[in-house]
Amino acid sequence: MATRLYSIQQLNPFTSLGTWTLTQASNLIELVKTPANDTSVLTFEIPRDLHGSAVNVSGISAVAVHYVVATASLDAAPTVTVNKVTMNASTKAISRAAVSNTLTFAGTNTVGTAAGTYVANIAFAAAAAALDESSAYTVEVTFNGAATGALKVGAVEVTYV
């Protein structure tokens, strides 16, 4: 088992709703969402390997999203959807299937909403996140922003098996 920490910038995230800006301050790169009373989705692909590491991996057992709720609490706890995107070898058709996972929070509180620092821990069953060349996993984190609360996403940890 090996864990790799990725800067949010390395994952080339896609965002919906709200204004998200990639920022750098004090040598820390973060994706910052300006305050708005809206629901935003942050989507990124889980890297298939350890980027040049000699460690061989067969799957993913966990993903941890590090984020900060600044100024005001979120309107509701973040939610997560994990999808496996697969390409059929013969037809080249792309399909998507939800991947069962368990979401817990560590940080300022156990629901991930109050102003403070958090880790959204996403755990998978051992067989759920097997890796191969014809599939990829995407993570969608839904944040329910408050009118006066900024949000910062700085890093993602992936635990490979």
The confidence score (pLDDT) of residue 56 equals: 58
Q: Tell me the CATH number of domain 2-160, given options 2.60.40, 3.40.50, 2.60.120, 1.10.4100.
A: 2.60.120
Q: How far is CA 79 from the centre of its chain?
A: 10
Contacts 24+ apart (CB under 8 A), 130-135: 130/58, 130/59, 131/48, 131/49, 131/57, 131/58, 131/59, 131/60, 134/86, 134/87, 134/88, 134/89, 135/84, 135/85, 135/86, 135/87
DSSP β-bridge partners for residue 115: none
Task: Delimit the domains of the chain by residue range.
Answer: 2-160
The confidence score (pLDDT) of residue 54 equals: 45
- pLDDT, averaged per 10 consecutive residues of the chain (161 residues), comes to 87 85 88 86 82 61 92 88 89 90 89 89 75 83 85 91 79
The confidence score (pLDDT) of residue 59 equals: 80
